[in-house]
Structure 1
Amino acid sequence: MRSFTGSPHRFLTHRCHRGFTLIEVLMAVFVLAVALTGMMHLHLAAMRAQRQSSYQTAAIGLAGDMAEMIRAWDTPAAGDPDPFLFEHRAGNAMPATSDCLGGASCDPAALRRFGIAQWLENVQAALPMARVSICRDAAPWSPAGAFQWTCSGGNAGIVIKLGWRAENGNGGASASPSEAGPRLVLNIGEPSS
């Protein structure tokens, strides 16, 4: 039988160091996992922000297109309804129009309706759960300073209001545009005289 020579503490100390190294490795793996999870959440937040930015950019372009369309057409005669003052929500049927593309013959009223229908199709394609309100409004914001869907009417200037469903910070969908206020309001017109 072999005899043990040396200190028993030396054997125990060496064994404890091996366990301590394992704990260090596990802690390093844990810290790395936490860091990677944080980076993943940061990347997802950046992607959400980029998507919302692209929706905002699309909404600005679409509102500008409609503003140009409204300015291009003559003001309707007194007593006639203004075809550019309307409200549309996602899920509503598109207005019926005649096809004015190609060689089709369209009167000015049909051409206006066709332009509005084409614009609404573009809005629905670019913005999720889009809601549109084009109206006369002297104060498009509430007393609290948030944009609102209601319009004052009367002889106020023309305002284009666009809303869409956005993602909240948790990645889920926020309130629908009908429940939340507009995300973009563009005042395009002087009060009618």
Structure 2
Amino acid sequence: MSSHGQVQGFALIEVLVSVVVLAIGVLGASAMQLVALRVRHESLMLTSAAQMASGMAERMRANPGQIAPVYLTLDYDAHAEPAPAMPDSHCWSAACDSAAIAAADMYDLKRQVATQLPAGRVRICRDAGMWDTGQLRWACAGGPGAPVVIKIGWRGKNPDGTAAKDTDGAYAPGVALRIAGDAP
């Protein structure tokens, strides 16, 4: 005590309030770090999926005669088939016809999806209404004149941790790339 009867120093209550405020700040910073990690991971997967779709689009443009008979049959779900079946030929060391090249292209894309995306999925189809519901979806609504679309996605999560699903109750695609110059 001082000579005037005042207490000097901090009261226990003031110290406890300071510790609580500090703890709330540390928890907030930790939560922001977790969100940043999740967003970074999601961004990495989106980038990978966009690169896969772009690469496949280039392969399809190089082999346009196989779009309808071969490429449009691709609907691969790595969750259901973790290891894609290998084609008869990879066309690396032997000459191949355009159908074998298309089969090798599809195998390479399936392998990339299976190894780079968590329970990934890829679908190539004709879809005139990719955004009709306001969100990408796996269902394809298109006839012979509809644009060819490459859809790639994975079993992602919303920011609140719930499964990211589309209006059909399936995991929504993350990327959809329309191939310009719609080939047959």
1:32 equivalenced with 2:22 (yes/no) = yes
1:159–1:189: 8 Å Cα contact kept in structure 2?
A: no
Render the CA deviation track for 1:126-159: whole Å, top value 9, x for unaligned: 21121111001111123x3222222123221101
Q: Match of 1:162, as an amino acid?
A: I
**Distance apart, 1:104 and its partner CA:** 4.2
Instruction: For structure 2, list consecutive stretches of 5 or more residues without a partner in the other structure.
Output: none
* Secondary structure of 1:134's aligned partner: strand
Q: Who is 1:54 aligned against?
A: 44
Larger RCO (alpha carbons 8 Å, 6+ apart): 2
Q: Report which of the two structures shows the higher radius of gyration computed on alpha carbons.
A: 1
CA distance in 1, matches of 2:183, 2:99: 20
Q: Who is 2:139 aligned against?
A: 150
CA distance in 2, matches of 1:190, 1:148: 22
Q: 1:103 to 1:183 in 2, by over 3 A?
A: closer
**Distance apart, 1:111 and its partner CA:** 2.6
2:77–2:119: 8 Å Cα contact kept in structure 1?
A: yes
**Distance apart, 1:95 and its partner CA:** 3.4
**Distance apart, 1:64 and its partner CA:** 0.2
* Secondary structure of 2:124's aligned partner: strand
Q: Who is 1:91 aligned against?
A: 79
1:129–1:176: 8 Å Cα contact kept in structure 2?
A: no
CA distance in 2, matches of 1:168, 1:135: 26
Q: Who is 1:159 aligned against?
A: 149
- Give TM-score scaled by structure 1 length: 0.78
1:161–1:185: 8 Å Cα contact kept in structure 2?
A: yes
Q: 1:32 to 1:165 in 2, by over 3 A?
A: same
CA distance in 1, matches of 2:178, 2:152: 12
**Distance apart, 1:58 and its partner CA:** 0.7
Q: Who is 1:140 aligned against?
A: 130
CA distance in 2, matches of 1:22, 1:101: 77
Q: Match of 1:51, as an amino acid?
A: H
* Secondary structure of 2:122's aligned partner: strand
* Secondary structure of 2:128's aligned partner: coil
1:161–1:182: 8 Å Cα contact kept in structure 2?
A: yes
| Percent identity between the two aligned chains | 34
RMSD of aligned C-alpha atoms?
A: 2.7
CA distance in 2, matches of 1:103, 1:115: 15
Q: 1:187 to 1:103 in 2, by over 3 A?
A: closer
* Secondary structure of 1:133's aligned partner: strand
Instruction: For structure 1, list consecutive stretches of 5 or more residues without a partner in the other structure.
Output: 1-9
Render the CA deviation track for 1:98-124: whole Å, top value 9, x for unaligned: 242653454432232122101111112
